[in-house]
Each structure stands twice: as structure tokens, then as C-alpha cells.
Amino acid sequence: MKIHLINPNTTASMTKKIGEAAEQVASSSTKIVATNPTSGPVSIESHFDEAISAVGVLDEIRRNPDADAYIVACFGDPGLMAARELTQSPVIGIAEAAFHLATLISTRFSIVTTLGRTGIIAEHLLQSYGFSHHCRKIRAAEIPVLDLEDNSELALNKIVEECLLAKAEDDIGAIVLGCGGMADLTDEISKRVGLPVIEGVTAAVKLAESLVSLGLKTSKFGDLAYPLPKHFTGTYEYLSNK
């Protein structure tokens, strides 16, 4: 099967890292294709960034319609529902994937993310997906997303520090990492913290493989039906399908 992994930001080094993490857990028969939009924010750290990046996610799906499944590899899951409208192939957001898997191995978890303001976005997702009662706390290491690329050792130490505080104070059984850029840190963090650590990119890969193997596709009955034929104007005229 072919899984198309979309990094919604435009930082190619992060896309490469995310793709490598996905390949490490994918089955031997699974082909991982990792891409990012050519236009958009270099990192996603706000509602504004998410709104802009969502268009890039949708463009990636439209340009690459042959995947068996797609993964939106940003913890805000930008454009997830719109992406599901565009294709019958399963589309999985890494936050939703991580929440699901965390609840299968622990009754309660905490999220450790990059910036406090993105923690608020994670809180909204927990409520939307129905996982709020499983999450004890959302903690921020207060590091810019690109520090995961440019100051990786310092960033790792700050993340581990927050994870250790979560273990000591939050009465949890697992930790969810709240950024796709942390995809390569799971094993090291788990080893240093002594708790199961769930990272959304790898979680999404295994969920995608399961859905494809079961022959389950995105329902086209109801709100996830293909978008209605419509004319777009100006910058988005290329999206017209009428």
C-alpha cells in the first residue's frame, strides 16, 4: 500500500525526518511518500498558521490522488475534515491518532507540546474528538517548533524535563508528544522518562495500515461527501470544479 504523509509546513528537513520515522514503523509492503506544500508557513504555531497551511494540505492531496491513505503530520490536524471530503482514502491526523492509541494503553495521559499557545489548540482538539476526560494536563516546553531542527539537543532536554514533571505530578500512565517535529524523539524520551510515549506520526501510520487492510474508506454519505461543484474566483480559481 502507499501512504502519503503530508507535513503541512514548508520545512523540508522536518518533512525528511517525519518520513524517516514513518518508514521505521511501516510494514515492509508499505510505501511511505513524504511531502510538504511549496507555499505556506515554515512552522505552525498559531490558528493563523494552521488556516494557511490547510490549503497546502488540500493541494497536496489533489496533486497526489493515488495514495491508499493520507496522514496530516501536524499536531493541530489542519484541514483534516476538508481533506477527508476530497478523497475516499482514509485521512488521519496525527493528534487524533495519538489520542486513540494513548487511551488503549493508559486510562490517562498528558500532552507535552512546544509552545503554550499551541497547547490551547490541542485542548480544542481533545474536546472535539471526545478525549478531554483522558487528558490530565497539557504541558509546553516553550520552544519554537524550528528549535527541533536547529537546536535539537536543547529542545530534547526541555521536552524531557516537562515529561518528567508530568510523570511526577499528573497521575498519568502515558505521554503524548504534541508536535510532528518530535517524531524522531519517541524512543529516547521514553527511555529517559520511564513511561510509554506516543507520537502521532508513527501512530497514524499503523492506523492507516489497519484501515487500508480492512478495506475501510472515508464515507461519502453525509458531511464527508465530495465538495459540491462550485466556481472559485481570484487566487483560488484553480479549485473550481464546475
DSSP string of the chain? -EEEEE-SS--HHHHHHHHHHHHHHS-TTPEEEEE--SSS-SS--SHHHHHHHHHHHHHHHHH-TT-SEEEE-STT-TTHHHHHHH-SS-EEEHHHHHHHHHHHH-S-EEEEES-HHHHHHHHHHHHHHT-GGGEEEEEE----TTHHHHSHHHHHHHHHHHHHHHHHHS--SEEEE--GGGTT-HHHHHHHHTS-EEEHHHHHHHHHHHHHHTT-----SSTTSPPPP----GGGGGG---
The answer to whether 84 touches 217, Cβ cutoff 8 Å, is: no
Cβ atoms 81, 54 nearer than 8 A: no
Per-residue DSSP letters for 173-234?
A: SEEEE--GGGTT-HHHHHHHHTS-EEEHHHHHHHHHHHHHHTT-----SSTTSPPPP----G
pTM of the model: 0.95
Give the list of residues 6+ apart from residue 226 with CB closer than 8 angstroms, or none.
85, 86, 220
Place of cell 511518500: 33
Give CATH 3.40.50.12500 domain extents, the chain.
Answer: 2-93+203-239, 95-200
Alpha-carbon span 221 to 128, nearest angstrom: 21
pLDDT attached to residue 153: 87
2-93+203-239 CATH: 3.40.50.12500
* Cβ(109)–Cβ(166) below 8 Å: no
Cβ count near 59 (within 10 Å)? 18
Which of 55, 129, 46, 51 is CA-nearest to residue 86? Answer: 55
Per the CB < 8 A criterion, the answer to whether 131 and 237 are in contact is no
What pLDDT is stored for residue 149 in this prediction? 86
Give the domain 95-200 fold.
Answer: Rossmann fold (3.40.50)
Q: Which residues, 6 or more positions from 216, have their beta carbon under 8 angstroms from its beta carbon?
A: 90
- Looking at residue 152, its pLDDT comes to 82
* 72 residue type, one letter: V
pLDDT of residue 151: 73
- Per-residue pLDDT, 150: 81
**Confidence (pLDDT) at 137:** 97
Local confidence pLDDT in tens for the 242 residues of the chain: 999 999 999 999 999 999 999 999 999 999 999 999 999 999 999 999 999 999 999 999 999 999 999 999 999 999 999 999 999 999 999 999 999 999 999 999 999 999 999 999 999 999 999 999 999 999 999 998 988 888 788 899 999 999 999 999 999 999 999 999 999 999 999 999 999 999 999 999 999 999 999 999 999 999 999 999 999 999 999 999 87
